[in-house]
Each structure stands twice: as structure tokens, then as C-alpha cells.
DNA sequence: TTGTAAGCGTTATCAT
DNA sequence: ATGATAACGCTTACAA
């Protein structure tokens, strides 16, 4: 490691405190002194020792992203990398550092609690896509650890950022209705997740808004994966929908496969709409009509809210932040209408 | 924060030193004392303060993944998330923590050098997919910071883990040769990256091995993206290849689009092989023959090598680790032969 | 404006 | 086997 405060101080002929004041841009240093100290800092290549600093300030300027379940879909989707991209950007902008805490086994989980959460290593936490029944968020609340949830969390006092899943699903379904469809099926996401629930809610809202009865036989639960989409579509084909809204693109792609295997065509026989706008969506035949969400901003806003929280921790409790970012319908070929 | 060593010591009626010995599993503590101390530790919920510990041990047990260029493809590929998954698994297994340092602007870069590399915050670095002309690796060498490169780096003394890009490309090309093709075109990756070069080399080796002349007009450079694959294929169509080897699946998908737009069919008119086995590859029509690589293990092995390095730092210089993991040909429909 | 000195919570050395 | 005590490199009252 490089030189310490002490050495810089000696070099500049001042005391440690003065160098500390200078490096932290604090007032009460004569301009000439300040200049002299800066000179010694540059000359010596001094770099503050983050760990020593943290020990006294009790802040590490490190936050961590925790993903409770290493959901499979997370590692094939572009969701995760884009979220991290947004999060790191926001961290960079404010001189924070981002750690990544993934864990699968629940044994790992408790070991992680100690190592990450209670060891003073991180100042705060970003919780990404926590299932409703996961104990992580309750645990964080109880331990008073500052955190922001990526994804709506139905509990007062939890700060979150989410995309408007309800509106997105509603737009997608309304689009199908406008195209004349009345028997519109839904392949939902896992109903143990808020995203799964919200996208189903949007579908319902669209139907109800147009006085179209919601039929249980037209709704099948999937788990966001291609395989589950295929299976769900096979089941749905027996009740002959004229259109399918899938709550994820991967499920839509699975549904497409099922429809084809049944000798039918998209969009001629069945119209299809997905959700997410993964890169694959624009590349398959027919290109998939879908709902696009600002994933990168989800990550950056989540981090910004968390850092605001951390920077005002001494103040009175800040109001709960609940941010919902807009989604956007991307019309392509799979719904049978491009305009 | 929770209780300190001091408080646990008082609770157990011993000194700080003894508690420290117990929590670090060191010898020279009477079994009864040890038990008594553990009791107080559990009772008080004591958790060692990582920062204080680091200050004296001069190790943070944090490593960071640096990706020099936020290559676009990195955020649409599954490469990045899978790599991180492997890396975090390896970290978890050895009680290390993983930080993520992405940066785009070179201004950010130097700010990052100071904040991350020279501030004592991290013990070592994983460099992922560094372009050959990026100064990061030379900088790390000069500053004697322990690091491992993900991706072959042609410099003695650099530890790296890579997949066998050469063999993968050779297998893919040989497969096309076996199917009777002689005019096999290549859409290469960026030739400023080792992966781009190696995959081209594998292509050449396959041709040369069968005494098929390598023709420059059949080789076009891409940048791993779908768009570049499409453009490259358009150019290649004018010299009528009977097969195309694309150095990435996304480029293969772009090529597929170009071939279709030209009114031709895959695999009847042109056979097509990709590289990566992204999820999309198995889902498009026709399903893409491609080369699969063990990305997750790439990440975990990279971390393991780095941690070995860190744990033996006091010892004499360890031999340079150069690990090449095998790739695998996945035969699907796009090459015109499934067996 | 500047310097002195007391911590921050550990580990590690050296007595006992 | 156990306990004082001195670091580790910094920030921060408090004094000058």
C-alpha cells in the first residue's frame, strides 16, 4: 500500500488533521496551506485508506444487491445484467461501491446474513425481485437495515421502485381486444411474485374495462420460463382461445412452439403478445409484440433512493418512496396488426 | 451495530484476546473457556466487525470483477450473468465477497483506480473480457495487484481461465466440412479481442486440416452483435458461400435474417453454425447448431485461482495458471444435419 | 487556522 | 492458557 496521512503530513510540514481537512474538502484551511498539502498529496500518490476511514466514520460506502432466489430465469433473461448496469452507473456517480450477494441454499443465507449484513461491511441493500414469501425483507425491516426493493412490495414503509406491470399487461390485453379478440387467454407468471400478480391484474382490468367476462379456464399459471409457457399453451389450446397474452416473452416463445406443434399459425390462428421485450423477441418469426420496461432505470433509481436514504440517515424518517416507471407496448407481427 | 469483542469478553469474564482466539479458532484456549466464550458470543449475538478486522489484517476478503468496456453484447448475452453466478458461488464457498466495477468513460476509470484498487478496499481482481489494447491488465501488473483474467491473455505471468475457443470453432467448421461444404464463410468476432482471434483461428485450422484453401473474400469481421452479423452476411452472399460459421449466436441470427431477406433458406441453401449457445439459439427456426461453453465454471474457476493466489501470497510466486475449459458442439437444425 | 490526542474494533506481540 | 498493550490509518472533538 501507499503512503499514509502521517507521511503526507510530514512531507507537507503540517499535521495529520490538516491533511485530513484538505482531502475531505473541509473549511478552515488557509488557501496556501491547502495548496501545499495538495501538492504533497499528488507528489506522494496518496490514496486514503478506505478501511481505516470506514472504521471511524462507520460507513463503508458499499451497498449490496441481494437476489433471494437465484431464479433460473434471472440468468437467461437480460433483466439481471441491465439492472446491474443501471445500479453500477448510479453507484459510480456517487462514489459508492456495489457488492453482489447471491445465494441459493438457505444455509448460505444465514451465513450471509452475518457476513454481509451484520458485519458492518455494507451501508445498505438493494433487494431484487424478492418473492412475497421470502423472509429477507421482513428480516431487513426488523434489523433496521436501510434497503430499497426492486419490485413493488405491499407493506407500508418499504421503499420500492417498480415498472408498471399492471398498465403494461392492460395495454397488451387492450391491444388484443382492439384487434377484435374476445377469447383472450393469459399465461401468468408465478402468482407468488408481485410481478406475476400485477400482470394478471392488468389482464383482468383490460377485460373488465370492456365488459368481457374473465374466464378461469382461459388463465393458466406459468413460471416465466419457456417450458412452462409451452405447457400452459398446450393446455389452453383445448379451450380454443383466439389470442394469448403471456406474462413473459420466454413463455410467449414457449407458447409459440406449442401453437406450431399443434399445426396452427401465429398470428393467423392465434394472436400472441409477450412481456419484457428480451432481445430474442424481435428476432423470432413472427417477431413478438410485447411490453418493454425501463430495466436499467429501475436499477439506477433503486440505488439513488437508497443512497438518498443513507445520506439523510440522521434526519427524521424520510417519506416512503414508491416509484413506478412506465412501460411501453411494442407492436410487432405476432399479434396480427402492425400500426 | 451489535456488541463488540470487549463486551463479549466482559460477559464471559475473560479478556478480549481470548474471545478473539475463540472466534478465530485459534489454539491455546482451554476447552471449558472456549465453551464459555462461545456461549457469550451466541447470547450476545456478537458478529465480528469486518472493517476493524480488515484494518489490522490488511485483507478485506473482497474481490472485484472489472469489465473494462461495458461491451453492449455483454448486456444482452447470458454470458455476463452466468459468469457472475459462477463467481459468486466460488466466493460464497470461501467466505469472500464479490464487488462489481463497471465503468464506461475513461474519466470514471481513473477515479475507479483510486477508489477501488489503491484504497485497500479489495484484495484482488477478476478481469473479464478485456480487449487486447485495454490498459487495465498492464496497469494491474505494474501495481502488483493480484488478478486473474477471464479470457486468454498473451503475456507470460498472467493467470487466466478461458474456454477453448479455437477447438470450438474448429469443431463447428469441421462439422460443416463433414457435411460436404467447401465454400464455408466466416463471420468473425472483433479481431481486437482474443476470443475473436481464437475463433477465427479455429476456423482456419479446420480448413487447413482438410486442405481447403482459406479465402479472404469468405471472411468478414463482425462485432458479435446481431446487426453486424446481418451486414456481414449480406456482404458474403455476393460471393455465394454454401455455409456460414458465425463466431457468435447473435451474429448467426443476424446472418439468418440476411439470408432470408435474400429469399434463401437455411439450411437448404446455406448452412449456418453459431457460437455460444444462447437461450435464443434453441428457440429460433431453424434451431441453431452452435458451440456451447461452460461459462459458469469459467467464473468459478477464475475466482478459485484468484483466491488461491491470495491465500498463498506470502509464499514464493506460484506458477502461472492457464486453464482452458472444453467447448462442445451442439448440433441442431441450422446446419442441415442432425445426428 | 492549525495541532494534539482520543478513539473506532480488531489482531498480534509479549509478558505472566 | 490467559491478559495487557501496542498497533492498523483515519476522523474529530478540543485546545492552542
Using the CA of B17, which nucleotide's C1' is the nearest one?
D3
pLDDT of residue B339: 47
A171 in Cβ contact with A291 (< 8 Å): yes
Distances (CA, A) of B134 to B65, B69, B138, B149: 15, 9, 8, 13
A151 in Cβ contact with A162 (< 8 Å): yes
Report yes or no: B2 at the A interface, CB cutoff 8 Å: yes
Radius of gyration of chain B (CA): 26
Report yes or no: A283 at the B interface, CB cutoff 8 Å: yes
pLDDT of residue B107: 76
Could you report how far apart the first and last alpha carbons of chain A are, in Å? 62
B266 in Cβ contact with B289 (< 8 Å): no
Give the chain B residue whose CA is nearest to the CA of A99.
B99
Which residues in chain A are contacts of B226 at CB distance < 8 A? 279, 283
A141 half-sphere exposure, CB direction, 13 A CA radius:
12
pLDDT of residue B198: 97
Per-residue model confidence as pLDDT tens digits over A112-146: 889 999 999 999 999 998 888 889 999 999 999 99
Report yes or no: B47 at the A interface, CB cutoff 8 Å: yes
What is the number of residues in chain A? 339
Report CB contact under 8 Å: A81, B75.
Answer: yes
Check whether residue B48 has its CB closer than 7 Å to nucleic acid strand C.
yes
Cell numbers for B46, please give them: 456478537
A54 in Cβ contact with B51 (< 8 Å): yes
pTM for the predicted model, two decimal places: 0.94
If DSSP codes are grouped into helix, strand and coil, which group holds residue A290?
strand
- Give φ, ψ of B243 to 5 degrees: -155, 155
pLDDT of residue A72: 54
Report CB contact under 8 Å: A284, B279.
Answer: no
Check whether residue B56 has its CB closer than 7 Å to nucleic acid strand C.
yes
Per-residue model confidence as pLDDT tens digits over A56-78: 999 999 999 998 765 556 666 77
Which residues in chain A are contacts of B70 at CB distance < 8 A? 85
Distances (CA, A) of A73 to A104, B77, B206: 14, 13, 36
Give per-residue burial for B240-249: e unless 16+ CB within 10 Å, then b: ebbbbbbbbb
Which residues in chain B are contacts of A334 at CB distance < 8 A? none
Q: Which residues contact B71 (CB under 8 A, 6 or more apart)?
A: B129, B224
- Give φ, ψ of B146 to 5 degrees: -60, 130
Angle at A120 between CA A116 and CA A123, to 5 degrees: 85
Identity of the residue in A70, A99, A119 whose CB atom sits nearest the CB atom of B49: A119
Spatial separation of the C-alpha atoms in residues B208 and A49, rounded to whole Å: 56
3-state helix/strand/coil string of chain B: CCCCHHHHHHHHCCCHHHHHHHHCCCCCCCHHHHHHHHHHHHHHCCCCCHHHHHHHHCCCCEEEEEECCCCHHHHCCCHHHHHHHHHHHHHHHCCCEEEEEECCCHHHHHHHHHHHHCCCCCCEEEEECCCCCCCHHHHHHHCCCCEEEECCCCCCCCCEEEECHHHHHHHHHHHHHHCCCCCEEEEECCCCCHHHHHHHHHHHHHHHHCCCCCCHHHEEECCCCHHHHHHHHHHHHCCCCCEEEECCHHHHHHHHHHHHHCCCCCCCCCEEECCECCHHHHCCCCCCEEEECCHHHHHHHHHHHHHHHHHCCCCCCCCCCEEEECCEEECCCCCCCCC
Spatial separation of the C-alpha atoms in residues A82 and A299, rounded to whole Å: 8
Spatial separation of the C-alpha atoms in residues A146 and A311, rounded to whole Å: 11
User: What is the per-residue DSSP string for A210-279?
Assistant: TTPPP-GGGEEE--SSHHHHHHHHHHHHTT--SEEEESSHHHHHHHHHHHHHTT--TTTTSEEE-SB--G
User: What is the per-residue DSSP string for A60-85?
Assistant: --EEEEEESS--GGGGTSSHHHHHHH
What's the CA–C1' distance between A230 and D14, in Å? 72
Spatial separation of the C-alpha atoms in residues B172 and B335, rounded to whole Å: 10
Using the CA of B15, which nucleotide's C1' is the nearest one?
D3
Spatial separation of the C-alpha atoms in residues A120 and B52, rounded to whole Å: 9
Q: Which residues contact A23 (CB under 8 A, 6 or more apart)?
A: A5, A41, A46, A48
- Spell out the per-residue pLDDT of chain B, length 339, in tens: 789 999 999 999 999 999 999 999 999 999 999 999 999 999 999 999 999 999 999 999 999 999 876 555 666 677 888 999 999 999 999 999 999 998 777 777 888 889 999 999 999 999 998 888 889 999 999 999 999 999 999 999 999 999 999 999 999 999 999 999 999 999 999 999 999 999 999 999 999 999 999 999 999 999 999 999 999 999 999 999 999 999 999 999 999 999 999 999 999 999 999 999 988 899 888 999 999 999 999 999 999 999 999 998 766 677 999 999 999 999 999 999 754
B262 in Cβ contact with B237 (< 8 Å): yes
- Which residues 137-156 on chain A approach chain B with CB closer than 8 angstroms? none
Cell numbers for B272, please give them: 449456418
Spatial separation of the C-alpha atoms in residues B208 and B144, rounded to whole Å: 41
Per-residue model confidence as pLDDT tens digits over A291-339: 999 999 999 999 999 999 999 876 667 799 999 999 999 999 999 976 4
| Mean model confidence pLDDT for chain A | 93
Considering any atom of strand D, list protein residues whose CB lies within 7 Å: A 1, 4-6, 16-17, 20-21, 23-24, 46, 48-49, 52-53, 55-57; B 13-18, 21, 27-30, 32-34, 52, 55-56
Task: Say if strands A290-292 and A328-330 run parallel, antiparallel, or are unpaired.
Answer: antiparallel
Cell numbers for A278, please give them: 428480451
Which residues in chain A are contacts of B1 at CB distance < 8 A? 58, 118, 120
- Give φ, ψ of A246 to 5 degrees: -105, 135
Q: Is B105 exposed, middle or buried (0-12, 13-18, 19+ CB in 10 A)?
A: exposed
Cell numbers for A155, please give them: 407493506
A215/chain B closest Cα distance in angstroms: 30
Q: Cβ–Cβ contacts within 10 Å for residue B268, how many? A: 9
Per-residue model confidence as pLDDT tens digits over A223-255: 998 999 999 999 999 999 999 999 999 999 999
Strand D: list positions under 7 Å from protein Cβ.
Answer: 1-5, 7-13
Cell numbers for A65, please give them: 444487491
Check whether residue B201 has its CB closer than 7 Å to nucleic acid strand C.
no
Strand C: list positions under 7 Å from protein Cβ.
Answer: 1-5, 7-13
Using the CA of B5, which nucleotide's C1' is the nearest one?
C9
Which residues in chain B are contacts of A50 at CB distance < 8 A? 115, 119-121
Report CB contact under 8 Å: B100, A102.
Answer: no
Identity of the residue in B51, B116, B285 whose CB atom sits nearest the CB atom of A120: B51
Identity of the residue in B76, B80, B88 whose CB atom sits nearest the CB atom of A102: B88
B289 half-sphere exposure, CB direction, 13 A CA radius:
28
Q: Of A125, A62, A123, nearest to A91 (Cα)?
A: A62
What's the CA–C1' distance between B44 and D1, in Å? 24
pLDDT of residue A70: 57
Check whether residue A51 has its CB closer than 7 Å to nucleic acid strand C.
no
pLDDT of residue A338: 60
A23 in Cβ contact with A38 (< 8 Å): no
Spatial separation of the C-alpha atoms in residues A131 and A152, rounded to whole Å: 10
Residue nearest to nucleotide C9 (CA to C1'): B52
DSSP A147: E
Q: Of B96, B105, B104, nearest to B64 (Cα)?
A: B96
Q: Which residues contact B24 (CB under 8 A, 6 or more apart)?
A: none
Residue A164 has pLDDT above 80, yes or no: yes
- Which residues 99-118 on chain B approach chain A with CB closer than 8 angstroms? 99-103, 108, 111-112, 114-116, 118
Q: Is A183 exposed, middle or buried (0-12, 13-18, 19+ CB in 10 A)?
A: middle
Amino acid at each position: 500500500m501507499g503512503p499514509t496521512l502521517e507521511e503526507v503530513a510530514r512531507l507537507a510540514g503540517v499535521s495529520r488533521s490538516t491533511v485530513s481537512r484538505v482531502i475531505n474538502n473541509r473549511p478552515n484551511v488557509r488557501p496556501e496551506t491547502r495548496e501545499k498539502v495538495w501538492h504533497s498529496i499528488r507528489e506522494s500518490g496518496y490514496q486514503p485508506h478506505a478501511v481505516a476511514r470506514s472504521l471511524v466514520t462507520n460507513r463503508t460506502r458499499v451497498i449490496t444487491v441481494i437476489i433471494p432466489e437465484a431464479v433460473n430465469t434471472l440468468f437467461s433473461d437480460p433483466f439481471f445484467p441491465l439492472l446491474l448496469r443501471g445500479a453500477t452507473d448510479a453507484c459510480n456517480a456517487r462514489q459508492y461501491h456495489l457488492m453482489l450477494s447471491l445465494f441459493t441454499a438457505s444455509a448460505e443465507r444465514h451465513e450471509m446474513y452475518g457476513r454481509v449484513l451484520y458485519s458492518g461491511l455494507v451501508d445498505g441493500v438493494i433487494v431484487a425481485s424478492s418473492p412475497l414469501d421470502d423472509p429477507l425483507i421482513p428480516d431487513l425491516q426488523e434489523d433496521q437495515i436501510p434497503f430499497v426493493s426492486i419490485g413493488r412490495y405491499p407493506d407500508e414503509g418499504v421503499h420500492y421502485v417498480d415498472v408498471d406491470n399492471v398498465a403494461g399487461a392492460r395495454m397488451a390485453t387492450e391491444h388484443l381486444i382492439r384487434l377484435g379478440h374476445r377469447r383472450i387467454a393469459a399465461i401468468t407468471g408465478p402468482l407468488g411474485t408481485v410481478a406475476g400478480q400485477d400482470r394478471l391484474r392488468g389482464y383482468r382490468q383490460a377485460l373488465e374495462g370492456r365488459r368481457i367476462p374473465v374466464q378461469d379456464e382461459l388463465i393458466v399459471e406459468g413460471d416465466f420460463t419457456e417450458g412452462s409457457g409451452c405447457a400452459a399453451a398446450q393446455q389452453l389450446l383445448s379451450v380454443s382461445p383466439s389470442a394469448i397474452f403471456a406474462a413473459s416473452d420466454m413463455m410467449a416463445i414457449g407458447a409459440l412452439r406449442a401453437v406450431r406443434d399443434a399445426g396452427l399459425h401465429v398470428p393467423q390462428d392465434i394472436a400472441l403478445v409477450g412481456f419484457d421485450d428480451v432481445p430474442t423477441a424481435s428476432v423470432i418469426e413472427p417477431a413478438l409484440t410485447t411490453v418493454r420496461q425501463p430495466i436499467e432505470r429501475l436499477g439506477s433509481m433503486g440505488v439513488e433512493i437508497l443512497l438518498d436514504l443513507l445520506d439523510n440517515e440522521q434526519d427524521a424518517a424520510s417519506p416512503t418512496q414508491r416509484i413506478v416507471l412506465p412501460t411501453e407496448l411494442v407492436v410487432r407481427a405476432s399479434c396480427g396488426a402492425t400500426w
